[in-house]
């Protein structure tokens, strides 16, 4: 079954590149850059991967990314992920990154984008994999900061394909970012947003109706709202679902409690993704395998999920991909 899943052509549409920082690489980069990590060794860091909710994960995620300082660091990080993704049958990646998480600690935006872009070009040559960058705004930072970030991104317009919204969801509704998403739309950027991971279905409605998103990241709490399920199905708004993440962050207790079957039954376009694979115990194929086992999915459903990921991607925009 693993080989069947690995062989399915697929796209990964919900992947935070900073969330691919494996503990060993965190220590290697810490050494290379003379940065002290607040953990004695790889084992101690791995022990800390015992999250109680989204915020407890984010605290560690932001702490670890302090080792990313130079373009080479971002390039090495992305290259390691892309090599793995290619081996998992991933043909196309829409890679999230968090500009504010780097710029706010003094790393120029140019350094981040150059590093990621160089890894993307190398991976296209080596594996034929295509990569689009999606810059996510941190929703627990002020909307004014998101707007200045968008202005800074405008200087790298050619390297950026879309914008997203991530970080701590509760208490930070999508509507706070109406203006910045409108401005991004005017720049011709694609729009996606995390919504309904921990937050209520109303945040998903806002992402659709206020931000005008084309896909919803996570969106699992849509399962609580039949009218919203109908809206997603009728308008063919894909959800980028990340099952192992949902279990690790305790959005669902067990994988068997995951709303995937309800979403599929409602006719929603579901895609399977890894979110932050270094932290959540699995890359994209591991997520498919876990779902297959939890729900005894047949090969036709697995093929449909993989096909959905390619159909839901923005790669049709890109010549030659």
Structure tokens at 84: 């793995």
The Cα–Cα gap between 89 and 217 comes to 21
How far separated are the first and last CA of the chain, in Å rounded? 28
Taking CB under 6 A as the criterion, the residue among 15, 54, 189, 193 binding ligand HPA is 54
Residue 166 in the binding site for ligand HPA (CB under 6 A): yes
Instruction: Determine contact, residues 92/120, Cβ cutoff 8 Å.
Output: no
**Which 2-31 residues touch ligand HPA, going by CB under 6 A?**
16, 19
Q: Which residues bind Zn ion (CB under 5 A)?
A: 275
- Residues with a catalytic annotation lie at 197
Distances (CA, A) of 65 to 87, 217, 224: 25, 22, 34
Structure tokens at 140: 């627990």
**Which 264-293 residues touch ligand HPA, going by CB under 6 A?**
275-276
Instruction: Determine contact, residues 124/95, Cβ cutoff 8 Å.
Output: no
167 binds, among Zn ion, ligand HPA, none (CB under 5 to 8 A by kind): ligand HPA
Residue 197 in the binding site for ligand HPA (CB under 6 A): yes
Of 39 and 162, the one with the shorter C-beta distance to Zn ion is 162
Residue 195 in the binding site for ligand HPA (CB under 6 A): no
How many residues are given for the chain?
Answer: 321
Q: Rounded to the nearest whole angstrom, what is the least distance from the CB of residue 155 to Zn ion in the complex?
A: 25
Phi-psi map region of 303: left, alpha, beta (phi>0 left; psi -120 to 50 alpha): alpha
Residue 79 in the binding site for ligand HPA (CB under 6 A): no
Angle separating helix axes 201-209 and 226-234, nearest 10 degrees: 30
Q: Rounded to the nearest whole angstrom, what is the least distance from the CB of residue 178 to Zn ion in the complex?
A: 21
Residue 176 in the binding site for ligand HPA (CB under 6 A): no
Binding site for ligand HPA (CB under 6 A): 16, 19, 54, 61, 166-167, 194, 197, 245, 275-276
């Amino acid at each position: 079954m693993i080989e069947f899943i690995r062989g399915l052509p697929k796209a990964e549409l919900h992947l935070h590149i900073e969330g691919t920082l494996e503990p060993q690489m965190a220590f290697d980069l810490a050494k290379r850059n003379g940065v002290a990590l607040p953990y004695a060794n790889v084992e101690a860091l791995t022990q800390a991967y015992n999250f109680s909710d989204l915020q407890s994960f984010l605290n560690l995620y932001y702490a670890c990314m302090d080792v990313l300082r130079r373009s080479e660091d971002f390039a090495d990080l992305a290259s390691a992920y892309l090599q793995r993704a290619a081996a998992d049958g991933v043909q196309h990646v829409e890679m999230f990154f968090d500009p504010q998480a780097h710029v706010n600690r003094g790393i120029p935006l140019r350094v981040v984008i150059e590093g990621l872009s160089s890894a993307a070009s190398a991976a296209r040559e080596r594996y034929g994999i295509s990569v689009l960058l999606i810059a996510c705004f941190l929703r627990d930072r002020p909307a004014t900061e998101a707007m200045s970030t968008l202005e800074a991104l405008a200087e790298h317009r050619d390297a950026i394909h879309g914008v997203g919204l991530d970080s701590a969801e509760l208490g930070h509704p999508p509507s706070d970012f109406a203006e910045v998403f409108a401005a991004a739309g005017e720049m011709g950027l694609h729009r996606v947003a995390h919504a309904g991971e921990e937050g209520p279905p109303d945040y998903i409605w806002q992402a659709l109706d206020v931000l005008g998103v084309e896909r919803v990241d996570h969106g699992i709490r849509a399962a609580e709202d039949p009218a919203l399920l109908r809206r997603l199905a009728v308008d063919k708004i894909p959800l980028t679902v990340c099952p192992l993440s949902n279990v690790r962050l305790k959005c669902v207790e067990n994988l068997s409690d995951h709303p995937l079957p309800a979403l599929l039954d409602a006719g929603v376009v579901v895609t399977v993704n890894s979110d932050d694979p270094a932290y959540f115990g699995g890359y994209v194929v591991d997520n498919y395998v876990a779902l297959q086992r939890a729900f005894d999915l047949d090969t036709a459903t697995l093929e449909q999920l993989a096909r959905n990921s390619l159909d839901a991607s923005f790669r049709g925009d890109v010549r030659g991909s």
